[in-house]
């Protein structure tokens, strides 16, 4: 394992590490943090955002926080968050 990562390091920028915890993240990841750290950092904000705003959806949250829609979807599902719908009267 150690030898393998040393080898990869010699190959140039083929590895990328989370700036927060040092965990390896996919080199093609658009983020500089791993998913876990992003979740820890952003999830409470996403939660607040969803709670405080009517008519938000995955797309809006993703744009607001500059993250992947799939990630938002995952968090909402795991966190049992619900989007508020404007009352239909
Ligand atoms: Zn991390």
The rounded Å distance from CA 30 to ligand 1 centre is 14
- Binned at pLDDT 50, 70 and 90, residue 1 comes out as very low
Please tell me which residue, 78 or 13, carries the higher pLDDT value: 78
Concatenating the DSSP letter of every residue in 10-65 gives: HTSTT-EE-TTT--EE-TT-SSSS-HHHHHHHHHHHHHHHHHH-TT--HHHHHHHH
In the chain, domain spans: 2-79
CB-facing half-sphere around the CA of 23: CA atoms within 13 A? 12
Contact assessment for residue 24 and residue 9, using Cβ atoms and an 8 Å cutoff:
no
What pLDDT, on the 0 to 100 scale, is given for residue 5?
A: 53
- How far apart are the CA of 89 and the centre of ligand 1, in A? 45
Tens digits of per-residue pLDDT, 33-76?
A: 999 999 999 999 999 999 999 889 999 999 999 999 999 999 98
- The answer to whether the predicted template modeling score (pTM) of the entire model surpasses 0.75 is no
């Amino acid at each position: 394992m150690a030898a393998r990562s040393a080898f990869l390091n010699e190959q140039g920028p083929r590895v990328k590490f989370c700036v927060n915890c040092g965990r390896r993240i996919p080199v093609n990841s658009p983020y500089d943090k791993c998913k876990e750290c992003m979740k820890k950092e952003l999830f409470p904000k996403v939660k607040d955002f969803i709670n405080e705003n009517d008519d938000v959806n995955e797309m809006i949250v993703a744009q607001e926080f500059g993250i992947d829609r799939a990630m938002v979807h995952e968090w909402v599902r795991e966190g049992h968050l619900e989007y508020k719908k404007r009352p239909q009267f």
